[in-house]
Structure 1
Amino acid sequence: MATGSSGVSRFFGGSPLGVLLRLLLLCVIVGLILDQLDLNAFELFRWMGRVLEDVLHNSAHVLRAIGRYFLIGAVIVIPIWIVLRILRMGSGRA
């Protein structure tokens, strides 16, 4: 067997023709099952798109909320930290 065809067989995990025939049969079986469940491939893609859109929308909402909490907390924390640093420098401890 030539080195090139050995690489192809290794890539496919067996004889390329055998693998393609198994994939064809698997596609038909999965298509039959999806059809019996009244599922459409395009609907599945639309559903995945909606899920991705919801995740991105919710992520943006979460990031906005975290940013808001950060700013609210920073208004209190940063001035207190500055005052404590100034007091520590005055006492000789840094």
Structure 2
Amino acid sequence: MAEGLNRLLGDTPGRTIIKLVVISVVVGFVMSMMGFSPWDLVRFIQRGLRDLWNSGFAALGRVGDYLIVGAMIVVPVFIILRILNWRKT
């Protein structure tokens, strides 16, 4: 089971937590320097949900279009990266 968890996380749980903490501090510092706060993100999500409700869910059609266009790039790149990584192991 530990091997499966390590494979899922990409490393041991302890090292993964340390990496996430370091990256979180760096991202938090950069966001703070740019003037962003976590509350800005909360307000953005609230505003987006309110606009979605007010628009009668017409925006969902656009999200589906964005999903398909993005998946045309993301999925092949993901598959290629997984194949290249699989060869190394």
Same fold, TM exceeding 0.5? Answer: yes
Write the distance in 1 (CA, Å) between the matches of 2:30 and 2:45. 19
| Long gaps (5+) in structure 1 | 62-94
| Long gaps (5+) in structure 2 | 59-89
User: Structure 2 length as normaliser, TM-score?
Assistant: 0.58
Segment drifting more, 9-18 vs 20-29: 9-18
The CA deviation string for residues 27-62 of structure 1, in whole angstroms up to 9 with x for no partner, is 00110011001111012111111111111211268x
In structure 1, give the amino acid aligned to 2:56.
S
Of 21, 31, 34, 2:31 maps to: 34
Identity percentage of aligned residues: 22
Write the distance in 2 (CA, Å) between the matches of 1:60 and 1:8. 39
Please identify the structure whose Cα radius of gyration is greater.
1
In structure 2, give the amino acid aligned to 1:9.
N
User: Structure 1 length as normaliser, TM-score?
Assistant: 0.55
RMSD: 2.0
Tell me the number of residue pairs that the alignment of Structure 1 and Structure 2 aligns. Answer: 59
